[in-house]
Amino acid sequence: MKDPNLMRKETLDIADVLPHIRFTPKELSATSFPEALVMIAGDPINMTSLKLQTFKENGTRCRICGCKGQYFAKEKYAGEPYFHLNLYALKEGREVLMTKDHIIPLDKGGRDRLNNFQTLCMECNRKKGNRTADKVKKNKLKKKSGAKDQKPRP
Ligand SMILES: [Zn+2]
């Protein structure tokens, strides 16, 4: 279930990645904060992402179905300057991306803070409903006046 546009360089053991994750109050930008970058198996990677912090703090297991992250993959999209690390579980041989999920959705007052994130696999996250994405869509609709019957632009 890897995003087909992602280029994968290699996979890494979880035990080799977790010690390098840094707890910071906010995710630091790799371009503005070079100190956020850590050399991971030869590539500079931003180790302050809230997603990585969530995996370190809450573990690599999905809180709903219990599937366990098995490995990190060093991946990036074409044109991105740095690789990032995605965590994957295997469910019946399928690769499933692990995500950070807002326990209290943003539109219900939840915040982008580590204590409001839990580890969920992509499948459970989708079933739970991606409320942050819904919120983005609603806001787009509100901005257009009389846009009741129009679909938001892609
Ligand atoms: Zn799950």
Q: Which of 128, 69, 72 is nearest to 102 (CA)?
A: 128
Print the domain residue range for 89. Answer: 6-143
The domain tally of the chain equals 1
Structural domain includes residue 52 = yes
Structural domain includes residue 152 = no
Structural domain includes residue 22 = yes
146 CA → ligand 1 middle, Å = 39
pLDDT higher than 70, residue 80? yes
Residues 94-136 pLDDT 10s: 999 999 999 999 888 999 999 999 999 999 999 987 554 344 4
85 CA → ligand 1 middle, Å = 19
3 CA → ligand 1 middle, Å = 18
Structural domain includes residue 85 = yes
Residue 48 vs residues 38, 39, 144, 154: alpha-carbon distances, Å: 9, 13, 36, 30
Structural domain includes residue 148 = no
Q: 148: Cβ–Cβ under 8 A, 6 or more apart, which residues?
A: 141
- Section 26-36 average pLDDT: 93
Structural domain includes residue 102 = yes
SS3 51: helix
124 CA → ligand 1 middle, Å = 4
33 CA → ligand 1 middle, Å = 33
Alpha carbon 137 to its chain centroid, in Å, reads 19
The structure tokens listed for 112 are 């982008």
Q: Is the pTM of this model over 0.75?
A: yes
Structural domain includes residue 58 = yes
